[in-house]
Amino acid sequence: MDGSQDRADLSLYSRLSEDIHKTAGIEDNARSNLGDAAKRQQAQSFVPKYVGDAVVEGYDGGSVYGSKVKNKVFSLDNPPKESSAETKEKQKKRKRNNKSKALTAKEKRTLGVYDIPVNARKYTLFQPLHDLWKGYIDELYGSSSPTNFSQKLLKADFHGAIITVIRSKCPTYVGVSGIVAQETENVFKIITVNDALRVVPKVNSVFTVHIRNSIFTIHGNQFRYRASMRSTKKFKSRPTIDL
């Protein structure tokens, strides 16, 4: 009420009409220069009276005031919503906060997270990995037949396997052999016996893996998935295996 003067331009706070003044018994003292305490007192004396008047018959005005109004805060206005731009910014901030925990692909690339350092490109360093892989593939092989196993092999992990390129459209890849240090969607990174890192694309190449006295041939063209994606992938038989 006390703000009605300041916010006269807001229609929401227009002056009460004259008859309401009369019925409510309000003295028009808005313009009088009363102190705060006096104003509060006035309001406090007004509200119970107004509630008592407004209550429908059958209810006790005093008890309604005591249970519903007294010492309660009512907002006379809907609080203005935060603007959508603001919220977006907030969301963005939140996202960025989440992302800041992991690097983006671009950041990884620039930092060279997955690069194998030159001094780590040693065949002997990767031999334990190969032994580990042998144990893993032996477990996977179990007692299944080679045909059944080839289905399992499609979904197996190749990190640590010794693979050999037996056929390629690019002749220089032919004969490259070594332990797989990393497999990505499109390439195998191989550590050769000469302690060199060779990056061999899967496309247009055919590889072999030697497992338990049998040689398995992998057609790189049909093998172009990430190791994690491949494990859940359903492979289809292709009509041609020509490069």
Partner 1 sequence: MSTFFPKTAPPRASQFISQYSFHSPKQLHQRLIQNHPFNQRVQVFLPAALSEQALTTLASRLFQDAHYYHAHVPLTLFLTPTFMQHIRNGMIAISVQGTIDSKDVVCLDGKGNLILSLTKDTYEQLGLSGTPSKFHPDRQRYTVKIDMRASSMTPGKPGFERIKWCFENTLVTVFPMVLGSVDDQGISLPLSFPESARATRLSFNVQSTHLPNIIVPDTSAIRTIGKSELNWRTSVMELYEWIGMAGMQSDRIVMGNKIDPFLCVYSAPPQKTETSVASSGWLIEVSGLVPSTVISKLMDDLRSTLNTTCSEPGWANFTVWGFQDSPISWINQEHGFLLTGENYYSFFLWSNNFPCQDSENQDKGTYVMLESVGAHDTHS
Number of H helices, E strands in the chain: 8, 6
- Give the nearer residue to partner 1 in terms of CB position, either 80 or 171: 171
Supply the minimum distance, in Å, between the C-beta of residue 221 and partner 1: 13
- Give the nearer residue to partner 1 in terms of CB position, either 156 or 176: 176
The SS3 assignment for 216 reads: strand
Supply the minimum distance, in Å, between the C-beta of residue 168 and partner 1: 6
The SS3 assignment for 52 reads: helix
- Cα dist. 217→37, 153, 163 in Å? 94, 10, 10
Contact between 85 and 155 under an 8 Å Cβ cutoff? The reply is: no
Which residue from 24, 47, 103, 243 is in contact with partner 1, where contact means CB under 8 A?
Answer: 243
- Give the nearer residue to partner 1 in terms of CB position, either 168 or 190: 168
CB hemisphere CA count around 209 (13 angstroms):
24
Strands 177-183 and 214-219: unpaired
Interface positions, 131-190, toward partner 1 (CB under 8 A)? 166-169, 171-172, 174-175
Cα gap 231→49, rounded to integer Å: 77
Interface positions, 50-69, toward partner 1 (CB under 8 A)? none
Supply the minimum distance, in Å, between the C-beta of residue 171 and partner 1: 5
Supply the minimum distance, in Å, between the C-beta of residue 181 and partner 1: 22
Is 116 a residue that touches partner 1 (CB under 8 A)? no
Which residues lie below 8 Å from residue 141, measured CB to CB, with a gap of 6+? 149, 152, 211, 212
Supply the minimum distance, in Å, between the C-beta of residue 177 and partner 1: 11
Cα gap 183→240, rounded to integer Å: 24
The SS3 assignment for 162 reads: strand
Q: What is the token pair recorded at 168? A: 């390629």
Supply the minimum distance, in Å, between the C-beta of residue 97 and partner 1: 52
- Give the nearer residue to partner 1 in terms of CB position, either 160 or 178: 178
How many chain residues bind partner 1 (CB under 8 A)? Answer: 9
- Give the nearer residue to partner 1 in terms of CB position, either 111 or 243: 243
- Give the nearer residue to partner 1 in terms of CB position, either 39 or 167: 167
Contact residues toward partner 1 (CB under 8 A) are 166-169, 171-172, 174-175, 243
